[in-house]
Amino acid sequence: MEPVPYRVRERVVENRDSATLFLDPVNGALRTPRPGEFMMMYAFGIGEIAVSVSGISPEPETTVAHTVRAVGAVSTALRDAAVGSLVGLRGPFGTGWGHEVATGRELVIVAGGVGLAPLRPVIVDVLACRHMYGQVTVIAGARSRDDFLFTPELRQWSSRGSIDVHLTVDIPVQGWPGEVGFVTEPLRRLPVRPERTTAYLCGPEPMMRASAEVLMGKGLRASDIRVSLERNMQCGIGWCGHCQLGPLLLCRDGPVVGYDVADPLLAVKEL
């Protein structure tokens, strides 16, 4: 429960309300996280929030990256943390995406807004071991062109040609070369082989539900669709109960679960 100090080595502004912090351990490092897991990040003197891991160093005891969107006092303080300043980390906690067991399969990765951050480590891992997977499609949506995360990387992923990248915006502007509309639009046009496809979804719950319905309409099993769920995580270890979703404590049993688990829970309005 005690935060471990990490120093901000680098800060990259992603868009008007988000920044990525690259953090180095001051003394001892925490366990290297897996894609999909999260950390409890502490802004000293202000408070603590749960933030997904958006970058993982291949070397032990070195840099971990978190992309923070400013929505409150703690997240704003973390988003604005200066290079050289200290933040506290606890974790990593929760479940991972499990893409390492999807080798040989085709992947569909769908992200809405800041939901691209938890999926970035999956994309990086897949590109590093591209020969181990079949067709890989990334669909990322944002409100506008200026709201995308990791814009230089998105351009690089698109230009490499080894994965298929679709970018779509809700609000078009003059000169926007990509698609317009929800992520479900390119997803509906996407040909898939359902018996050998695994999907990873992260973003607002309505987006994930709509995307999962499109994929199941194409024949994917709900268990082959994995989603990252968000609730009010405060302790990270399943003690406080604030992140309860039906029988799940998402800090312990999630945040990543199969859609066969998530679907009946998300259908209950009170949850």
DSSP string, 157-176: HHHH-SSEEEEEESS--TT-
In angstroms, the CA 169 to CA 134 distance is: 27
Residues 135, 30 share a domain: no
Residue 58 confidence (pLDDT):
66
Lowest mean pLDDT across 15-19, 110-114, 167-171, 185-189 = 167-171
- The CATH number covering residue 155 comes to 3.40.50.80
Residues 114, 63 share a domain: no
Residues tagged in the binding site annotation:
235, 240, 243, 251
Q: 46: domain range? A: 4-93
Residues 139, 122 share a domain: yes
pLDDT tens track for 117-167: 999 999 999 999 999 999 999 999 999 989 999 999 999 998 888 999 999
For residues 109-131, b (16+ Cβ closer than 10 Å) or e, as one string?
bbbbbbbbbbbbbbbbbbbeeee
Is the model's pTM score more than 0.85? yes
Length of the chain: 271
Mean pLDDT score of the chain: 92
Residues 110, 60 share a domain: no
> Helices (DSSP H) in 34-86: which residue ranges?
73-79
What does the pLDDT average to over 70-83?
96
Domain boundary among 67, 93, 119: 93
Residues 177, 259 share a domain: yes
| Residue matched to tokens 């998300």 | 266
Residues 103, 215 share a domain: yes
Residues 175, 75 share a domain: no
Residues 117, 56 share a domain: no
Residue 233 confidence (pLDDT):
87
Say how many domains are in the chain: 2
Residues 115, 87 share a domain: no
100 and 72 in contact (C-beta within 8 Å)? no
Residues tagged in the binding site annotation for [2Fe-2S] cluster:
235, 240, 243, 251
What are the CB-based long-range contacts (under 8 Å, 24+) for 264-268? 266/205, 266/209
Residues 258, 150 share a domain: yes
